[in-house]
Amino acid sequence: MSNKLQTITTKLWAMANELRGSMDAAEYKNYILAFMFYRYLSEHQEQYLIRNNVLDVAAGESINEAFLEQAKGEDLNDYLEDISASLGYAIAPLDTWASLVERIDNSMVIPSDYQTMFDNFNKNAELNKEAAKDFRGVFNDINLGDSRLGSSTNERAKSLNRIVKLVDGIEYKGEDGQDILGAIYEYLIGQFAASAGKKGGEFYTPHEVSIILAKFVTEGVKESDKTFVVYDPTCGSGSLLLTVKGELPNGDKPGAIKFFGQEKNTTTYNLARMNLMMHGISFNNMTLSNADTLESDWPDGLDAKGIDHPRSFDAVVANPPYSAHWDNSETKLKDPRFSEYGKLAPRTKADYAFILHSLYHLNDTGTMAIVLPHGVLFRGAAEGAIRQTIIEKNYLDTVVGLPANLFYGVSIPTTILVFKKDRKTRDVLFIDASKEFEKGKNQNKLTDNNINKIIDTYQNRVDVDKYAHVASLEEIKENEFNLNIPRYVNTSEEEESIDLDEVIMLLEQDKQEIAELEAKINEQLRVLGINV
């Protein structure tokens, strides 16, 4: 993080905490992050109007003034349709960020203005039918009537005004002129997750863990004209998808990567949509769904004959909720995601359901990386049977043990499982990285050196003393398909050997020294006339 970004984010976080008062951090994020997104969309629209010479801007006139002047009456609809056709959304002149800030500065905002602004945005978001789903209801988590903002409509409007002014004060250009608004947004997501503990941590994967997953699934990928397609079935705030983008050789090239993600929680789904767009992802390069991944299968598509078929991806990454409950009724055995394995994950532990769903959507040359609790490595019964089938199919490539207390609100150690379908060998690499981390006040962290060691070991795929072991299929069979890492990587320190002859000799020397000391003491006592 650059010095400027660090300064901005620290100041912003302190001010945000002061403004939210008694409101829970997990709730307050809905306001500040949504307004940041609205500002981004409005200013992104301004850039579009400038770049494409849509407006005639007179000397000394602002973009917003020109927009207000030229988009009057019937012409407004033409402007909005033109903008929406390109951007997927459109914001009317009176609803732009610049207009809102100007009205606040002139004390002209009335309480209903915010509701009107968002209602207008929702209406205009339907103009582009292809993009309507990507923008529909994206601001629905802003509760304009929340009493914690104020006891009256006027007090609530004042609170919203303060949030707008806070967001408006963000300088979002870095030292090199780069737009860092997306980086600030990402930072705030992490801070809100940390403040909210487990409740917030459910939608956020620590960046260090995301980097490892992203490096695993992009390892060996070379720059090409082919679009790289990545899927996260439990995408949370979308941060993991964005980290994959950052690890691709041409990830910043427009259209080089397409994103698919599904999220059950509607608020978090809205956050993911905002997060991806704030990082410059166009609506036509992202397909996100708000649904339960383990229920009806998604995503699917139409083949050349118009028949539904499951989508498959170059990379699948996931950090699903650990040991979640799910509906494992017998009908699920007919589901093609699970039918090949003969068993279903237990009702109270959906971990293997997420694994099988993700594997189902991995293409034959892709890589999948998923974070799960250690229990998936050794639990028996149905999970043991599924694990054995996966290994016999030769899909499991690598098992990595991570340190405890890396995730918000989750203190247990976790494991990363890496899968591939086109493996040429029948071994499994085990990496025990559980003891190498930087201890933090609330959460432990992985340093760059810790991450690099994991990645180097993954790439080299050789034994490393007390750290990694390449286990043959025969070894795994001998362990009855139990993947518990200590069975394969011995990290215990050998006790120093003891030379018994040396110990006996030292004891004899001690006895002799004690006897000589006693004799001296007795002699001194006799000189003093003391009988012993």
pLDDT per residue as tens digits for the range 239-261 = 999 999 999 988 888 889 999 99
pTM for the whole structure:
0.87
Inter-residue contact 408 to 200 (CB < 8 Å): yes
The pLDDT assigned to 499 comes to 67
Distance of CA 399 to the CA centre of its chain: 20
Relative to beta strand 308-310, strand 300-302 is antiparallel
The dihedral built from the CA positions of residue 400, 321, 247 and 316, taken in this order, carries a sign that is positive
Class for the domain spanning 3-196 = mainly alpha
pLDDT tens for 421-464 read 999 999 999 999 999 999 987 789 999 999 999 999 999 999 99
Q: List the alpha helices (DSSP H) in 447-496.
A: 448-460, 473-478
Pick the CATH number of 204-487 from 1.50.10.10, 1.10.630.10, 3.40.50.150, 3.90.550.10: 3.40.50.150
Residue 500 has what pLDDT?
A: 75
Q: Coil, helix or strand for 472?
A: coil
Q: Count how many Cα atoms sit within 13 Å of the Cα of residue 517 in the half-sphere of its side chain.
A: 6
* Distance between CA atoms of residues 41 and 264, nearest Å: 25
* 124 and 85 Cβ atoms separated by less than 8 Å: no
Residue 173 has pLDDT above 90, yes or no: no
Q: Tokens standing for 47?
A: 């850039």
Instruction: Place 209 in a pLDDT band, splitting at 50, 70 and 90.
Output: very high
Q: Is the pLDDT of residue 484 over 80?
A: yes
- Sheet containing strand 428-432, edge to edge, reads 286-289, 257-262, 228-232, 313-318, 362-373, 414-420, 396-401, 428-432, 468-471
Q: Concatenate the DSSP letters of all residues of 381-437 into one string.
A: HHHHHHHHHHHHTT-EEEEEEPPSS-BTTB-S-EEEEEEESS-SS--EEEEE-TT--
Cα separation, 195 vs 197, whole angstroms: 6
**Judging by DSSP bridges, how do beta strands 257-262 and 228-232 pair with one another?**
parallel
